[in-house]
Structure 1
Amino acid sequence: MGDVLLRPWDRQDIERDVVLDGLVAAAADPLIALWSPLKAGDRAEAASWLKHRLDAWERGSVASFAVVDAADGTLLGNVAVRWVDRADGLAMTGYWMLPEARGRNVATRAARAVTRWAFRTADARRIEIAHATGNEGSCRVAHRSGYLPEGILRESFRFGDGRYHDEHLHARLATDPEPPELADGPRD
């Protein structure tokens, strides 16, 4: 991914103040607070969120990756694959990015990378992205990552504003072609 690296979260992250502070900053970001379930008001909550992610990886239910700056390791975001039905190869992916990662196609590159990983390494057959219809940035990421629109899930998820929102449903199959290379133009 060039200037950006995806790496699994690890137990050492729980002790890294720079990681915990990055998670607290992410949870305080208005867009992340609205559209993401991340709750990390302080370092202790950030450490608890990380522990939950690590435990889920060990159980085989979620694979979460830190999205970091390749040069200095600064946290830029998170991307994850959550198994809906592992035996059937059905998963969902989700992501959030800090403001400094936005406008650089970091979310799209991360979504593409985790999708390739899930298809090639984790035996996913179908991966879905569901996002609030008002979350235009996430919709761009889904499209640019090769996820085809499939419909609208009505009032399907309660978001950070406490309201249920309709969601767009996008999906990719392991047999779908890779999306075209990113070119100049709109960014996520």
Structure 2
Amino acid sequence: METIEIAVPGLVLRPWRPDDAAAVLPALREPAIARWNPAPTVVDLASAETWLARRADLSGGEHVSLAVTDPAGGELLGSVSLHSIHDGGASIGYWTVEPARGRGVASRAVAALTGWGFLQLGLHRVELCHAVANPGSCRVAERAGYRLEGTLRDSHRYGDGRRYDEHVHGRLTTDS
């Protein structure tokens, strides 16, 4: 897969780089990010570098993971990823650092990568799941053009070790 860089107003989505480790380590320790993501594996700079290397490796074709950055200063604002790419479908996930929340960063990043996936990967459907207890993610999905499709009961174990019901949202290439 070629190098991916997506620019939208106020954001640049770009490949992860080894020098992102210093920003990723504190980001993944933020309580809001740690709670709504799988149990932490990033505990020090070395594990942050390993985390980045896995995300930067796009050779398998099953995921695209990008850093979400500020175009002016280049600082890390978050992450957005298409994963489980298979047979015209994928799932999308994201997180944003605390200073980026409430500014539309997540919804713009999700919309941008979704559009890229439709155009460049030929995806037909992208799914976004989030814990029902995380209403901010419901707003992100809606603002990014995803429709609420239902609730999955006790669907996923999050970073706090608990299983949560999840909302599932979907967006099709045919959605307006």
Q: TM-score, structure 2 length as denominator?
A: 0.92
Pairing of 1:139-178 with structure 2 (within 5 A): 139-177=138-176
Aligned partner of 1:7 in structure 2 is 14
Pairing of 1:1-188 with structure 2 (within 5 A): 1-9=8-16, 13-14=17-18, 16=19, 19-37=20-38, 39-55=41-57, 57-84=58-85, 86=86, 88-177=87-176
CA distance in 2, matches of 1:159, 1:90: 23
Shift of residue 100 of structure 1?
Answer: 1.1
The letter for the 1-side match of 2:104 is N
CA distance in 2, matches of 1:120, 1:108: 18
Contact 1:81 1:94 in 2 (8 A): yes
CA distance in 1, matches of 2:152, 2:46: 34
1:160-188 per-residue CA deviation (whole Å, 9 max, x = no partner) reads 110111100000011000xxxxxxxxxxx
1:102-158 per-residue CA deviation (whole Å, 9 max, x = no partner) reads 111000100010010000111111000000001111110001111101111111110
Question: How many residues align structurally?
Answer: 168
| Percent sequence identity over aligned pairs | 46
SS of the aligned residue for 2:59 comes to helix
CA distance in 2, matches of 1:54, 1:61: 12
SS of the aligned residue for 2:41 comes to coil
The letter for the 2-side match of 1:105 is G
Gaps of at least 5 residues in structure 2 are 1-7
Contact 1:27 1:39 in 2 (8 A): no
Gaps of at least 5 residues in structure 1 are 178-188
The letter for the 2-side match of 1:107 is A
Contact 1:66 1:77 in 2 (8 A): yes
The letter for the 2-side match of 1:174 is T
Shift of residue 101 of structure 1?
Answer: 0.7
Which of the pair is proportionally richer in helix? Answer: 1
